[in-house]
Amino acid sequence: MKRAFPILAVLTALLLTYSTYQALVVAPTERTMGDVQRIFYYHVPSAWTAFCLFFVNLIASLIYLVRKNSKADALAVAAAEVGVVFCTIVLITGPIWARPVWGIWWTWDLRLTLTLVLWLIYVSYLVLRRFSDSSQTPKLAAVLAIFGALDVPLVYFSIWFFRTQHPQPVIGGGGSLDPRMLHAFLINLFAFSCFGAMVCWWRYRLELLHQEVEEMESLESLRGVTQ
């Protein structure tokens, strides 16, 4: 596993380079919005990656609640941290895209509001994990993660069932993309997914080491008490 990580990192870096070339050079300029539309190739893949990581967090949290598996808990923490980073990118790139298109940085549109709520829930999850020393913290965090995961489908389907200012989905929503745009989008979707998986893997390994250190410190404290 240790040897595989550098190889994965190099391949991911090459893939990100290629996807950036596709998004900024190969993909044609959108007729109405112009070059600002190219944020699409980073905004949507970031959202996709965040949703995938929050799903991993949900599954790992459920496993921890059922089996009390420390590795599952470590994976939940790692996925939540990396997911929050990608969700932050979504909240940053969205207003940058909206300003020249909508004329405003932010509007309390349903999808935007639900995305902000999702971000706040998982930030609360990380704050709980960081500043609470209770033995019940992992269990409470797992319950909060399940609650947060319920917001993900609400964010995704909000523009399908409600009238919002956010544009309707191009893929599967009745619209269409130029083949070169679609190719650039899919390449970036894959690249961001690989990058998210790589960072999550790295963070997961660090969390396992952190757990081992805490266990060793606990054992040493018990030995000191008994002596």
Q: Does this model's pTM top 0.85?
A: yes
How many domains are contained in the chain?
A: 1
The number of beta carbons lying within 10 Å of the beta carbon of residue 12 is 19
Residue 30 pairs with which residues in a beta bridge? 34
CB 184 within 8 A of CB 5: no
Give the range of the structural domain holding residue 97, as residue numbers without chain letter. Answer: 4-27+36-226
Q: What is the pLDDT of residues 193-204, one digit of tens each?
A: 999 999 999 999
Q: What is the pLDDT of residues 41-56, one digit of tens each?
A: 999 999 999 999 999 9
pLDDT at 123 over 60: yes
14-21 long-range contacts, CB within 8 A, separation 24+: 15/187, 15/190, 15/191, 15/194, 15/195, 16/191, 16/195, 18/187, 18/191, 19/184, 19/187, 19/188, 19/190, 19/191, 19/192
CB 58 within 8 A of CB 149: yes
DSSP state of 24: I
Q: What is the pLDDT of residues 57-108, one digit of tens each?
A: 999 999 999 998 889 999 999 999 999 999 999 999 998 988 888 788 888 8
Lowest-pLDDT choice from 7-11, 12-16, 57-61, 215-219: 215-219
d(CA 131, CA 61): 19
Cα distances (angstroms) measured from residue 112 to each of 47, 63, 147: 12, 30, 18
* For the chain, percent of residues with pLDDT exceeding 70: 87
| Mean pLDDT within 6-32 | 91
pLDDT at 174 over 60: no
CB 74 within 8 A of CB 211: yes
Q: State how far Cα 137 lies from the chain centre.
A: 22
Residue 68 region by backbone torsions, left for phi larger than 0, else alpha for psi between -120 and 50, else beta: left
* For the chain, percent of residues with pLDDT exceeding 90: 53
